[in-house]
Structure 1
Amino acid sequence: MTSEHDITLARTTDALAIAELSRDAIEYGLTWRWTVRRVMRCIHDADTNVVVMRRGGTGVPAFAIMQYGEQEAHVSLLAVHPGHRRQGLASALLTWLEATARVAGCTAIHLEVRITNPGAMAFYRRHGFGETGVSVGYYEGVEDAVRMVKPLSVSADAA
């Protein structure tokens, strides 16, 4: 990770780039649900972190959205633009999300992955996530999701 990569909370001006990357990299073949309006709601939601990876202060080559409950967090989306993959951006975002969840007192992070995306499942396994089951028809009734979870130890800062 070099200094040219910065993880920051998303601004409202990032909503279009986030929504488009979600549509193209995550929601392909499905109805576009993570629209600009929905991303904007998440940006303004106190129980949600929308974070972006910036390169040289401009552009959004990667982003993540994570929602917080009382004791658990849920990664709703994590995407890297195809031209920026294999550069550690997703790992950096996931590390940031995990650290933030620990500080928030969360004991686990949950997520779902399209069953047809073995690369994403392998990525999350490398980061300590385990499979907990399959949600049949999770994606609009046309595709199953693999549910994954990573137990967290709570940071001393949160105690």
Structure 2
Amino acid sequence: MDIDSMICVAKVGDADQIAVMSRDLIEHGMGWNWRAEAVEKSIQDPNTNVAVLREKGRIRGFGIMRYLDDEAHLVLFAVARANQRKGIGSALLRWLEVAAGIAGAQRIRVEARRENAAARCFYNEHGYHEVKLEPGMYRKKLDGIRLEKWLRASYAKRGGE
């Protein structure tokens, strides 16, 4: 299976699957903000990339990256539980990082729940550094960790090599 060839930009029709994955994998215990309508807005936003990895008609993972001047913000990122630890998350993150570099981003920011050791470890393994603890970041109940990764200045010129 060539994982990289299974990644593409999301279509509006993907919004329902992405929203359910967000509810179940990211927003559990916090209420559900990323419903299909919010995902659709991101898919249609020219300053946002929504990438999906699709296999046999099902989305196995997704990422939503928003661009702000010379920064990118990885707003949501998830891989279906049954597909974790198979390289899907790494491939999706790599795709989004290349897109961010091409868009002119010098830095990518992302947040994770403080209690989510697996996510924090994943981002650390991919060159992200924890920069700040945010008490009550999520719904004023759960602490968050802000992470960031600086991209090489010549990233876009070399196509992400």
- TM-score bracket for the superposition, by shorter chain length: over 0.9
The residue number in structure 1 matching 2:88 is 89
The residue number in structure 2 matching 1:151 is 150
CA distance in 2, matches of 1:136, 1:41: 29
The residue number in structure 2 matching 1:21 is 21
1:23-62 mapped onto 2 (5 Å cutoff): 23-56=23-56, 58-62=57-61
Q: Summarize the Cα distance change of 1:148–1:3 in structure 2 as closer, same or farther, 3 Å threshold.
A: closer
Q: C-alpha displacement at 1:16, in angstroms?
A: 0.3
CA distance in 2, matches of 1:132, 1:141: 19
Structure 2 counterpart of 1:156, one-letter code: K
> What runs of 5+ residues in structure 1 fail to find an aligned partner?
none
Q: Summarize the Cα distance change of 1:5–1:133 in structure 2 as closer, same or farther, 3 Å threshold.
A: same
Matched, 1:74 2:76: no
Contact 2:63 2:92 in 1 (8 A): yes
Structure 1 counterpart of 2:130, one-letter code: E
CA distance in 1, matches of 2:82, 2:121: 20
Q: C-alpha displacement at 1:153, in angstroms?
A: 1.1
Q: C-alpha displacement at 1:5, in angstroms?
A: 5.2
TM-score, length-normalised on structure 2?
0.93
Structure 2 counterpart of 1:48, one-letter code: T
How many residues get paired? 157
Contact 2:3 2:91 in 1 (8 A): no
Q: C-alpha displacement at 1:2, in angstroms?
A: 1.4
Contact 1:114 1:146 in 2 (8 A): yes
Q: Summarize the Cα distance change of 1:48–1:3 in structure 2 as closer, same or farther, 3 Å threshold.
A: closer
Task: Give the ranges of 4+ consecutive aligned residues of structure 1 lying more than 4 Å apart after TM superposition.
Answer: none
3-state SS in 1 of match to 2:145: strand
